[in-house]
Structure 1
Amino acid sequence: MKLQRVLQYAQFLLQDTVEAGDVVVDATAGNGYDTAFLAQLVGEHGHVYAFDVQQQAVDSTKNRLDEEGLANRVSVILDGHENVAQYVKESISAAIFNLGYLPGSEHEIITKPSTTLKAIENLLSLLKVGGMIVLVVYYGHEGGKTERDQVIEYVSNLPQKKVHVLRYEFINQKNDPPFIIALEKMKNL
């Protein structure tokens, strides 16, 4: 097996975790690629909750889902991922984040450490044992390194008997290459 690029590996982790009928979360809907991918994984009887704070992202995600015939499996929510617990009441099997900014938009609107950490905490409480949270960490922008460092500090201090934490990255790439942090819930917190 060849080394997988970051986005390929994120999808691999999700494919290995999500089953038809599951409930999952896309914490940063963006342009809807992950949302559509998750909607395919959960099948007709599963559900995806997709969050974004930008109307442009919500519209783009809804358009992609309509084009792919997946809109009936997804709730696209114009709100921050830190408010996930207000919308999602059932157990989830997986969640994904793409930290940073919406590609093709203004770089001033970025994910922030305080809201990201609150979202991770809320999602960990919703996550069923054996479930996975995947964070794709883009940090080559203003404020990105602060968020990266705070996320790493937070997940590094999660109890190892309850959450396995993986960091997957290419260490010889230039210009702040993205990397993955994956959280696998082993026991209830």
Structure 2
Amino acid sequence: MIKAKYLTKITDINKLYLENILNEGDIVVDATMGNGYDTKYLAQKVGKDGFVYSFDVQESALKSTEKKLKKENLEDRVKLVLDGHENMDKYIDKEVSCVLFNLGYLPRADHMIITKPETTIQAIKHSLNLLKPHGIISISIYTGHPGGIEEKNSIYDFIKDLDQSEFNVLESGFVNQINNPPQLVLIEKKKEYI
């Protein structure tokens, strides 16, 4: 079980929520692979009978993630996809338990390659369709880079209109931190989304 020693990283706080959601055998999605830390975490959580689809547009992300997975013998339960998360519906035809987004840019890479509002909203829409009842979409939103505020605003404009009879939407964030602290949004599907 994950225990957050400090409440300093939104990714660690996110895992506190996910610990009670993810189960062995689940099919899940890492919509923003990055350096592979979330993909590795998800692969460990779903176990040998589960599966992870992981997306990124950068070859360096795939290489970094593949290396992490091989080191832990997890590569057989993950499909690494060199494509944008807005195209996840082309690769996944099963219900999923969780879709994880870690928005912004790839650390230690080109900070000009960022997630964008239009593709992120499209990916969230696909996620809603793929999500099984009581599944979760987890969105870590970073706004301290050019385009980050616009992406956050687009996400909030979209999620505030989700029907509360179909979805629960939870927001979590740091209220006393300066310099654009990240925010976490969780969307739970209550029933079939049409």
Q: TM-score, normalised by structure 1?
A: 0.97
Asked if 1:79 corresponds to 2:79, the answer is no
Aligned residue number for residue 151 of structure 1: 155
Aligned-residue offset at 1:131: 0.3
Output the CA distance in 2 between the equivalents of 1:180 and 1:7.
Answer: 9
SS at match of 1:108: coil
The correspondence of residues 31-180 of structure 1 with structure 2, limited to 5 A, is: 31-180=35-184
Output the CA distance in 1 between the equivalents of 2:164 and 2:175.
Answer: 24
SS at match of 1:65: helix
Distance 1:16 1:4, change over 3 A: farther
SS at match of 1:106: coil
**Counterpart of 1:162 in structure 2: which amino acid?**
E
RMSD: 1.3
**Counterpart of 2:45 in structure 1: which amino acid?**
L
Output the CA distance in 2 between the equivalents of 1:9 and 1:128.
Answer: 23
- Cα-to-partner distance string for 1:24-66 (whole Å, 9 max, x where unaligned): 0000000000000000110001000000000010111111111
**Counterpart of 2:75 in structure 1: which amino acid?**
A
Output the CA distance in 1 between the equivalents of 2:177 and 2:108.
Answer: 23
Output the CA distance in 1 between the equivalents of 2:6 and 2:172.
Answer: 11
Output the CA distance in 2 between the equivalents of 1:26 and 1:163.
Answer: 20
Asked if 1:182 corresponds to 2:193, the answer is no
Give percent identity, aligned residues only: 45
Aligned-residue offset at 1:2: 8.1
How many equivalent pairs are there?
Answer: 189
Aligned-residue offset at 1:12: 1.8
Distance 1:2 1:106, change over 3 A: closer
